[in-house]
Structure 1
Amino acid sequence: MKITIIGIYDKKPEFSEEQQKAIANTLHFAGGKRHYELVKKWLPENANWVMITAPLATFFDELKKFGGNWVVFASGDPLFFGIGNTLKRVLTDADFVFYPVFNSLQLLAHRFEINYGKFKTVSLTGRDWHEFDKALLQGEKRLAILTDRTNTPVSIAKRMLEFGYDNYRMFYGECLGGENERTAELSLHEVANLSFSHPNCFLLEMTKDRIPQIGIPEIAFEILEGRPKMITKMAVRLVTISALELHNKKVLWDIGACTGSVSIEARLHFPDVKVIAFEKRKESLKIIEKNAQKFQTPGIQLFIGDFMEIEKKNIEQPDAVFLGGYGGKMEEILDDVNSRLADGGIIVFNSVNEKSRNNFLSWSEKNKYHLCFRQKLAVDEHNLITILAIKK
């Protein structure tokens, strides 16, 4: 199978002789609806056109069904977060020929005479927020963003403003290279109240530095009303995060998140790590949301309810777990965690009394975990806390 992928702009294309020959000698074509409208006059009368829509499984089935030679039309550079990468991954035995043109972000940078080589590209096309949130937390000064019909300039700007990232300006472009091209330089507040056409993309440039507060005093957090002690103290929190060894982990579960202090501190220290918080108290929902916004930590997934009753099949499995609360169900919760924790994963528990410490260590020994960290810590007049970390 030979697949020729031709990149085009958002206007009626003019093809080279080589490209025209490939089109004329092919029966099977594919692309988006917009691509079809732009190239249909070039197609042979007996052409078979397959519309590329999500999910892509139908398109892949058509490719395999007909075999032979195909011409696929794509926007810009097919290998720049494009269909070319997907096809190469799925059709490993096919031969590929690529004809790229400038991608949309390059066109946009040219319009504003900006050095696009200095921008970190993040695609939000059919993707979750993780890479974008990570870039914000890491203080990336320049970002180039690919959007879709869900992750739009408006939704992205509103998310940034929700978490206090108003320190960027936007260079926006839509329908680049086409008759309806539009560009604008905007503040995020302006973006949040405007309407835009698809396809679009934009560049973000930081206007002032943001220095995250790492090592947050507990007094700075919103807390449960009437429960001032229901928060992991700063000194204990920092040692806890160290014991979790998040520098080489991917997914942290914070069980019994309460105010979200451990989740928030973990996000600030390790933006690469996906943080998933569990808390049974309904009143903690607003508190954790407020704290996450206050300390500019987007991306914490939060589940409210009894940990043992939450369906976890579609939740990313952890390689690090902090047991911050267990509601009298320590062994039951640890058994559940054990069934999901990756090999080599770590569980950290902060014991406030001898009984809970012994129960945790007994469970650890019974399940053949290795005690890899033990530290006693007293903060002011508070009870002595033993920080325990065990490895699977």
Structure 2
Amino acid sequence: MTKAPWITIIGLGEDGPDGLPPASHKALAAAEVIMAPRRHLSLLDETTARLIEWPVPFSDGIGLLASLRGQNVVVLASGDPFWFGAGSVIAREFEAGEWRCLPAPSTFSRAASHMGWAIDQTICLGLHAAPLTRLRPYLAPHLQLVVFLRDGDAVHALAQYLQGEGFGESELTVMEALGGPREKCTPLRADDMQPRTFQHPVCVAVKPKGAGAVMPVAAGLPDAFFDTDGVMTKRPVRAVTLSSLAPKPGELLWDIGGGSGSIGIEWLLAHQACRAISVEPRADRVGLIEHNAAALGVDRLRVVHGEAPDVLTGLPSPDAVFIGGGLSAEMMDALEGLLPVGTRVVANAVTLEAERLLAETHARKGGELLRIDVSTAQPLGAKTAWKPSYPLVQWSGVR
């Protein structure tokens, strides 16, 4: 016989229980314990249930919730608990039969409705616990965004960030306590943020405008998007390399010899579910990679400081590997023993010794061998001539 769930996750709006459907009212009336952040508890009507404030950090509350097993527990969350909310964390920690969810309209739904925007055509970002740089790939004049922020001060930080990226003309609508008696919506421009106070909870609708650089969605970002000490796979070669690596949603890349991090970063930009680990032996470049990843909105890039192949043991198995630095016979032999069958491998070489190694690898293992010659037009006196870069040889194959 299946037992009834002992955890009920209820989505609560700023109007408190008044706007809840009958099933949520019934669950609240039957609750022996109610766990919620202080703000949610303050919205409740009088109840006989034991009230427990959810601790900070959020993860500390999971053990406390588990200790209540056997009682009828209601957990209050904001709006739809499975949209940047607590629902997925609880579902991950408890069996499916132990919990149920009764959602309310999310903050994003309320915001889109206020703006008259189709929510399926709106970028929705929860930045209450994430850096504002996550916005960077979406700063384009034809997009519309709804951004959930941690508090009122973050509204000013958002305006400053948009100005710094060249999007100071962006139209903002700051929405406080949507759906409740304190609801307030304020339209303004990012570069015209007068001193004022905004109250939590707060979200902002953003229509990006300005002369800031828009990030292309094709592989091969302009080099100017990256800070570099000179060691970086340049745009034309990077575009070919990403095409050879062929990122797919959810896949993991090992970027060996990260340099400026450009390959790992563009792999992550290909899809939000993509994952990447950049391996870099130089400490100064580790910081550079992390800086570039954060600035371009993919701070989820993991950077491992150390020499490959030594530091590769113990890393999660990749779906693809790029060798941009440190290519050697020892490296190739080590990868042969580390990588699961089916792993895609791409290696670039500019020296004769490295070219010879890739030619031998191609002869033994097959795959594809490319020679890439890139020249750019440069002034030559009063005229213009082609200036060639070092030719590059690329081998790609499957383990």
Asked if these proteins are the same fold (TM beyond 0.5), I'd say: yes
1:379 lines up with 2:374 in the alignment: yes
1:94 aligns with 98
Rounded Cα–Cα distance in structure 2 between residues aligned with 1:216 and 1:136: 14
- Output one character per residue of 1:139-165: Cα deviation in whole Å (capped at 9) or x when no partner: 871222233369944555555555555
2:188 aligns with 186
Structure-2 change in CA distance of 1:7 and 1:223 (3 Å) = closer
- After TM superposition, the structure 1 = structure 2 runs for residues 352-371 of structure 1, keeping only pairs within 5 Å, are 352-359=350-357, 370-371=365-366
Rounded Cα–Cα distance in structure 1 between residues aligned with 2:226 and 2:86: 45
Structure-2 change in CA distance of 1:70 and 1:303 (3 Å) = closer
1:104 lines up with 2:107 in the alignment: yes
1:48 aligns with 50
1:237 lines up with 2:248 in the alignment: no
1:37 lines up with 2:39 in the alignment: no
2:297 aligns with 298
User: Does structure 1 retain, via aligned residues, the 8 Å contact 2:362–2:369?
Assistant: no
- Output one character per residue of 1:217-243: Cα deviation in whole Å (capped at 9) or x when no partner: 76997664xx6xx55454433322222
Amino acid at match of 1:344: G
Question: Which of 125, 146, 149 is the equivalent residue of 1:147?
Answer: 149
User: Does structure 2 retain, via aligned residues, the 8 Å contact 1:274–1:299?
Assistant: no
In structure 2, list runs of 5 or more residues that go unmatched. 376-387
Aligned length: 376
- Output one character per residue of 1:209-263: Cα deviation in whole Å (capped at 9) or x when no partner: 9462865676997664xx6xx5545443332222212246633343334455545
User: Does structure 1 retain, via aligned residues, the 8 Å contact 2:169–2:191?
Assistant: no
Rounded Cα–Cα distance in structure 2 between residues aligned with 1:97 and 1:260: 41
Rounded Cα–Cα distance in structure 1 between residues aligned with 2:281 and 2:195: 36
1:26 aligns with 31
Rounded Cα–Cα distance in structure 2 between residues aligned with 1:65 and 1:270: 39
Rounded Cα–Cα distance in structure 2 between residues aligned with 1:151 and 1:383: 50
Q: Match of 1:246, SS? A: coil
User: Does structure 2 retain, via aligned residues, the 8 Å contact 1:307–1:333?
Assistant: no
1:325 aligns with 325
- Output one character per residue of 1:269-307: Cα deviation in whole Å (capped at 9) or x when no partner: 6666445545455665787689879xx833264859544
1:119 aligns with 122
User: Does structure 2 retain, via aligned residues, the 8 Å contact 1:4–1:96?
Assistant: yes
2:378 aligns with none
Q: Match of 1:29, SS? A: strand
- After TM superposition, the structure 1 = structure 2 runs for residues 162-181 of structure 1, keeping only pairs within 5 Å, are 163-164=165-166, 168-181=170-183
- Output one character per residue of 1:344-372: Cα deviation in whole Å (capped at 9) or x when no partner: 3323222224422344576899xxx9542
The percent of aligned pairs where both chains have the same amino acid is: 23
User: Does structure 2 retain, via aligned residues, the 8 Å contact 1:154–1:194?
Assistant: no
- TM-score normalised by L of structure 1: 0.72
1:70 lines up with 2:69 in the alignment: no
Amino acid at match of 2:174: Y
Rounded Cα–Cα distance in structure 2 between residues aligned with 1:315 and 1:149: 37
Amino acid at match of 1:299: V
Amino acid at match of 2:374: V
Amino acid at match of 1:373: E
1:388 aligns with 395
Structure-2 change in CA distance of 1:220 and 1:303 (3 Å) = closer
- TM-score normalised by L of structure 2: 0.70
The CA RMSD measured in Å over matched residues stands at 4.7
Question: Which of 336, 343, 346 is the equivalent residue of 2:344?
Answer: 346
Rounded Cα–Cα distance in structure 1 between residues aligned with 2:264 and 2:38: 43
